[in-house]
C-alpha cells in the first residue's frame, strides 16, 4: 500500500498540543496524526454498527423513534426515584 503526502492546516494551539504529545511518546507528528485518524475512523465504524444493530432490533420489535424516546424518558424517571 502506497503513501501520499497531504498538507493540513492546524490552529497553532492544537499543533502545539500535537507536538507535545508526539515528543512525550517519542513519535513523529505524522505518526501521531495517522494513529489519531485511524482511531477516529474505528470509533465512527463502531458507532455506525451499533446504530445499525439498534435500528434492526427496534424494527424487529415494532418500535419507532417516538416510542423509544418515551421509554427512555420513563426509564430515567424511574431511575431518579
| Per-run averaged pLDDT (10 residues), the chain, 81 residues | 92 98 97 97 97 93 90 92 80
∠30-35-38 over CA atoms, to 5°? 125
pLDDT at 44: 98
pLDDT at 53: 96
Q: How many residues does the chain have?
A: 81
- Whether residue 3 lies inside any domain: the answer is no
Question: Which residues form the domain of 73?
Answer: 12-80
- Whether residue 75 lies inside any domain: the answer is yes
pLDDT at 81: 80
* Cα 30 from Cα 69, distance rounded (Å): 43
Q: Which residue has the cell 503513501?
A: 3
- Whether residue 6 lies inside any domain: the answer is no
Residue 80's Cβ-side half-sphere holds a number of Cα atoms within 13 Å equal to: 6
Amino acid at each position: 500500500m502506497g503513501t501520499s503526502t497531504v498538507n493540513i492546516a492546524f490552529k497553532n494551539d492544537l499543533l502545539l498540543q500535537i507536538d507535545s504529545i508526539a515528543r512525550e511518546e517519542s513519535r513523529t507528528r505524522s505518526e501521531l496524526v495517522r494513529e489519531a485518524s485511524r482511531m477516529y475512523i474505528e470509533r465512527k465504524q463502531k458507532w455506525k454498527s451499533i446504530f445499525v444493530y439498534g435500528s434492526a432490533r427496534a424494527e424487529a420489535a415494532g418500535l419507532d423513534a417516538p416510542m423509544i424516546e418515551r421509554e427512555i424518558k420513563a426509564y430515567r424517571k424511574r431511575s431518579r426515584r
